[in-house]
Structure 1
Amino acid sequence: MSKKIAILRGINVGGKRKILMADLKKLCENLAFKHVKTYIQSGNIIFNSDEPIPVLAKNLEEAIQAQFGFDVPVIIITQNELETTINNNPFIGKDAAMNQLHVTFLKEEPTNTAITKALTYNYPPDEFKITGKTVFIFCADKYHKSKLSNNFFEKQLAIKATTRNWKTVMKLLEISKA
């Protein structure tokens, strides 16, 4: 069975769309996910499954809707994809502190037209780079002050997305390897 990481969009933010991680874990186990672990309240799930990713994401989205009554976009990547993401961060080595690095995970690969549109925006000193289904972000100050938000990328790329800070990305890899 291969290791996968599900990253949920927009749960437990500001007291809205609340899902307890124990309930989320049980829901995943009911969907036949194996060796399920969760990490922090923002909706990160590490599990094993050989089902195709689109099937897993659709099943989890439908189960969350049925049990909790709201839509939650689910992005699933493999452990290898996460490791590749970490190894390809263009902002590592530019004297960036861990708290200045973020990754936006996209539900699908954006079109070249959408990428070109997004690249017309420039918000220095913050920077971003789009690679496949990943947006690498460097924020000189706090992420919540940056214009390079999750909503910005969803709007510009017309794709569902969810963002994690670098510490969380690294922890997800660590947990997936345990």
Structure 2
Amino acid sequence: MNKYVALFRGLNVGGHNKITMVELRVMLEAADCQKVTTYIQSGNAVFVHDQPRDKIETMLEGAFEKHFEYRVDIVVRTEAELASATTAYPFFSDERNLSFMMTGFARQPIGENAISILEQVAIDGELVEAKEQEIHFYFGNGSGRSKLGALNFAKKIGTPITMRNRRTVLKLLELINAL
């Protein structure tokens, strides 16, 4: 059995695609996920499953669409991949607000030109760095007013991403380690 985190893109954001985490847990358990734990309303779940990661994303997207009757992007990481993304975060500092530290988890590897595209959009106080399938951000003035935070990543860099702040990533790592 392998430990995974599933990050659901666009759930319960701005009043769209509203589902409860209880419903999400039911869907995951129906897809043979075991020891399912959800975290906050934005669509985060940790679980164990016997399938390899490359099959889990596609399988979960199909199960989600069948259960809820609409499609969302789901990004899945193993326990080791989540731990690696957490330790690779380059902008941590005790003087910085954890809520402004974000990691974007991508479905596909991030292209070589992604950083230059993102740096062109970044404004004062914003930092960005890409590593394989994650993009790390620091939003110096918060992500709410940022053009970078509102970017259509699938269109601009060729892969959708789903962002989580540092507190959420650390909590998900704690939950997956506890499975």
Find the aligned partners of 1:7 and 1:130 in 2 and give their Cα distance. 18
Question: Which residue of the partner structure matches residue 70 of structure 1?
Answer: 70
Q: Is the Cα–Cα contact under 8 Å of residues 104 and 150 in structure 1 kept in the other structure?
A: no
Question: Which residue of the partner structure matches residue 48 of structure 1?
Answer: 48
Q: What residue ranges of structure 1 are gaps of 5+ in the alignment?
A: none
Question: Which residue of the partner structure matches residue 88 of structure 1?
Answer: 88
Find the aligned partners of 2:134 and 2:46 in 1 and give their Cα distance. 19
Question: How does the TM-score come out when normalised to structure 1?
Answer: 0.92
Find the aligned partners of 2:115 and 2:165 in 1 and give their Cα distance. 22
Q: Is the Cα–Cα contact under 8 Å of residues 104 and 134 in structure 2 kept in the other structure?
A: yes
- State the shift of 1:116 in Å: 4.1
- State the shift of 1:150 in Å: 5.4
Question: Which residue of the partner structure matches residue 144 of structure 1?
Answer: 144
- State the shift of 1:74 in Å: 0.3
- State the shift of 1:117 in Å: 3.4
Find the aligned partners of 1:86 and 1:155 in 2 and give their Cα distance. 26
Superposition RMSD on alpha carbons, in Å? 1.6
Closer, same or farther in 2 for the Cα pair 1:133/1:144, shift >3 Å? Answer: same
- State the shift of 1:54 in Å: 2.5
Question: How does the TM-score come out when normalised to structure 2?
Answer: 0.92
Find the aligned partners of 2:166 and 2:45 in 1 and give their Cα distance. 16
